[in-house]
Amino acid sequence: MPYFGEIAALITAVLWSITSIVFTEASLKVGSLLVNVTRLILAFAYLTITILVMQFDINMSFAQFMNLAISGFIGLVFGDGFLFKSFQYIGARISMLIMALVPAMSTLMAFIFLDERISFVAVVGIFITLFGIAIVVLERGNKIEGKTNISFQGIFYGFLGAVGQAVGIIFAKQAFIEGPINGFVATQVRIVSSLIFFLPLFVFVKQIRHPIKIFRLETKAFIYTGIGSLVGPFLGITFSLIAIANAKVGVASTLMATVPIIMLPLVHFYYKEKLSVISIGGAIIAVFGIFLLFC
């Protein structure tokens, strides 16, 4: 199927956009830490059931397993961990802008380590798309949050988060280069590797207490988390791996980075947020960049 990987990348961005809304709603009620752990546990359950029912082939080489496990740790633990720390220091607006570096980083890493080359038109498309995303992020940031303090520590954490995401993509791509792997099975390996680190850590620091009791009191938060886990870690990560497996790393990561653009109509209808001319203009620029990626 032509552009199968590119389409999967756009589907990933749509799924992550929906996830950001439902996880935000859940986090406001029970806290982001509990939501974070619960989403991975639920995703693990969804994936296990799907793999068993559909009888997907789980065979892979040890090298593929290790690449996916490292990808899960670096992307979901290291990358996301530093991204959340960046949120605390410099806020979501600047952090999201720094994360827009991921496509450029992953493109460069793919060229160096995987000898992956993309056309000049695709390179232009990547930069135009990222420019449009930057316009939307910077403009909408003033409405999302009032925090504008800039600190070197926060920027450094954001940069580490971007590096973690980019390196995670490269390890995942390497696993698919070595041979075909079912997307759901690959996602399961990444989720398990992150849980192996997360669960003992959270038990040790004792940050999550009586989770069942909390969700009993906040059933709507559990519903939001359940939906978000289905849309995000379960389907979202799976489609992201399908995208990486079937498209150039730079193109796939750029298309997956269009979440701020796809969020525009969602926040307009869900939060009744009025869209500015600048946001719409940034979205149009990004769409033109996306068009070039499909040329």
pLDDT score of 205: 63
pLDDT band at 146 (very low <50, low <70, confident <90, very high): very low
pLDDT band at 149 (very low <50, low <70, confident <90, very high): low
- Per-residue model confidence as pLDDT tens digits over 193-216: 999 887 777 677 666 667 788 898
Binning the chain into helix, strand and coil, the percentages to the nearest 5 are 85, 0, 15
pLDDT score of 266: 86
CA distance 74 to 162: 11
pLDDT score of 213: 86
Give the range among 1-15, 118-132, 269-283 with minimum mean pLDDT.
269-283
pTM (2 d.p.) = 0.91
**For the chain, first and last CA: distance in Å?**
15
Is the model's pLDDT at 253 over the cut of 70?
Answer: yes
The amino acid sitting at 53 is V
Q: What angle do CA 143, 257, 183 make, to 5 degrees?
A: 135
CA distance 108 to 102: 10
> CB–CB of 110/116 below 8 Å?
yes
CA distance 63 to 45: 25
Contacts of 215 (CB under 8 A, 6+ apart): 30, 38, 221, 222, 225
pLDDT score of 144: 46
CA distance 188 to 41: 11
Give the range among 37-51, 76-90, 162-176, 200-214 with minimum mean pLDDT.
200-214
Is the model's pLDDT at 292 over the cut of 80?
Answer: yes
pLDDT band at 280 (very low <50, low <70, confident <90, very high): very high
Is the model's pLDDT at 150 over the cut of 60?
Answer: yes
**Two structure tokens written together for 182:** 């079912």
The residue-averaged pLDDT of 271-288 equals 90
pLDDT score of 214: 87
The 3-state DSSP class for residue 150 equals: coil
Torsions phi, psi for 294 (to 5 deg):
-95, 0
Domains in the chain: boundaries: 4-293
> How confident is the prediction for the chain on average, in pLDDT?
89
**Two structure tokens written together for 92:** 């979501």
pLDDT score of 147: 46
- Per-residue model confidence as pLDDT tens digits over 256-275: 999 889 988 888 888 788 88
**Two structure tokens written together for 284:** 């149009």
Give the residue from 292, 295, 186 showing the smallest Cα distance to 239.
186
**Two structure tokens written together for 276:** 């500015």
The 3-state DSSP class for residue 273 equals: coil
CA distance 155 to 226: 32
pLDDT score of 141: 57
- What is the Cα gyration radius of the chain? 19
